[in-house]
Amino acid sequence: MASSLKSLVNDDDRYQKSFQLFLERSSEHQCMRDFIHNKLPDILASIGDGKSHLNVIGVGSGAGEIDLEMLSELHKKHPGVTVDNEVVEPSRQQLYNYKVLVSQKPDLDYIKFNWNTMTASEFEEHWKAEKATKKVDFIHMIQMLYYVKDPEATVRFFQGLLGKNGKLLIILVSGKSGWGKLWRTYRAQLCQPDISQCVTTGDIKSFLDSKGVRYQSYELPSQMDITECFTEGDEKGELLLDFLTEVLDFSNTASPELRAGVLEMLRHPDCSVESNEKMLKPSPFVEEKRNTTT
């Protein structure tokens, strides 16, 4: 039975508030930065095949902080190379924030930014309508496959855009994480039928394995302080619960039984640990890098 609850993405303002609070309470961006500066450079070194111009697509780029750090590492590995960067982001506010960030950064003249206020599916339709034939050297899809109808089809489309030695980087919640266990337990109640909201790296790995696609995976352990979720009526706790469940106004729209069950699951040792009187929810992420021989 499909969930009768509304997805958090239906209210962009509340989503952005929940997301910003999540970033404040978690080490997600720090664990990504560790990966970007320590692992990603070696991956990026092999792309391009000696070309003087590289094509990059960021799908679900948000406000651009992580994008620009990846582009900086790309520039270090390929100095003197120009970059055509397609930014795909449906939130106008986030895209505006990205543009402001770019305007404040020096030394980005080597990058041409193409702004696409679109979902991944809309960008796919646009690309096909334009009959674009250029091949892409690096595509990144960071925490966005939850919001597409068919993640496998989305991955196939973007894989098809890769050129020789091109790389596709996917970041998702690990299927082994507390978040993954929460979603598996309450998939029917929480997940919306029109998006792949509860997808994890386990799902993507199964798909890649079934197609015989080569990939590398990296685990990035991160933690999130969920203490406020257990204080009834706490505004920040309710925003965090919205983000954890991906449900709009979860505390007030979920049944008492569902809310109690979710909170009990979050307290369970499979999902969280208590440290210094705070509940910390481990949420490791896995990066998958796919190769193409086209």
Q: How far apart are CA 56 and CA 87, in angstroms?
A: 9
| Percent of the chain surpassing pLDDT 90 | 51
CATH classification code of 11-176+190-221: 3.40.50.150
pLDDT band at 133; cut points 50, 70, 90: confident
Residue 238, pLDDT above cutoff 90:
yes
Closest among 6, 4, 27 to 15, alpha carbons compared: 6
The predicted model gives 118-131 an average pLDDT of 94
Give the pLDDT confidence score for residue 279 in this predicted structure.
56
pLDDT band at 197; cut points 50, 70, 90: low
Least confident stretch, 45-59, 132-146, 242-256, 260-274: 260-274
Residue 36, pLDDT above cutoff 50:
yes
Closest among 186, 187, 192 to 261, alpha carbons compared: 186
Give the pLDDT confidence score for residue 17 in this predicted structure.
92
pLDDT band at 120; cut points 50, 70, 90: very high
The predicted model gives 211-237 an average pLDDT of 88
Q: How far apart are CA 89 and CA 63, in angstroms?
A: 9
Give the pLDDT confidence score for residue 131 in this predicted structure.
85
Give the pLDDT confidence score for residue 195 in this predicted structure.
62
pLDDT band at 3; cut points 50, 70, 90: low
pLDDT tens digits for range 55-82: 999 999 999 999 999 999 999 999 999 9
Closest among 259, 176, 249, 161 to 219, alpha carbons compared: 176
pLDDT band at 280; cut points 50, 70, 90: low
The predicted model gives 39-52 an average pLDDT of 90
The predicted model gives 90-94 an average pLDDT of 91
Q: Are 272 and 226 a contacting pair, CB within 8 Å? A: yes
Does residue 198 or residue 287 have the better pLDDT?
198
From the centroid of its chain, how far is CA 238?
Answer: 22
Does residue 32 or residue 59 have the better pLDDT?
59
Q: How far apart are CA 206 and CA 53, in angstroms?
A: 34
Residue 293, pLDDT above cutoff 80:
no
pLDDT tens digits for range 266-276: 888 877 777 76
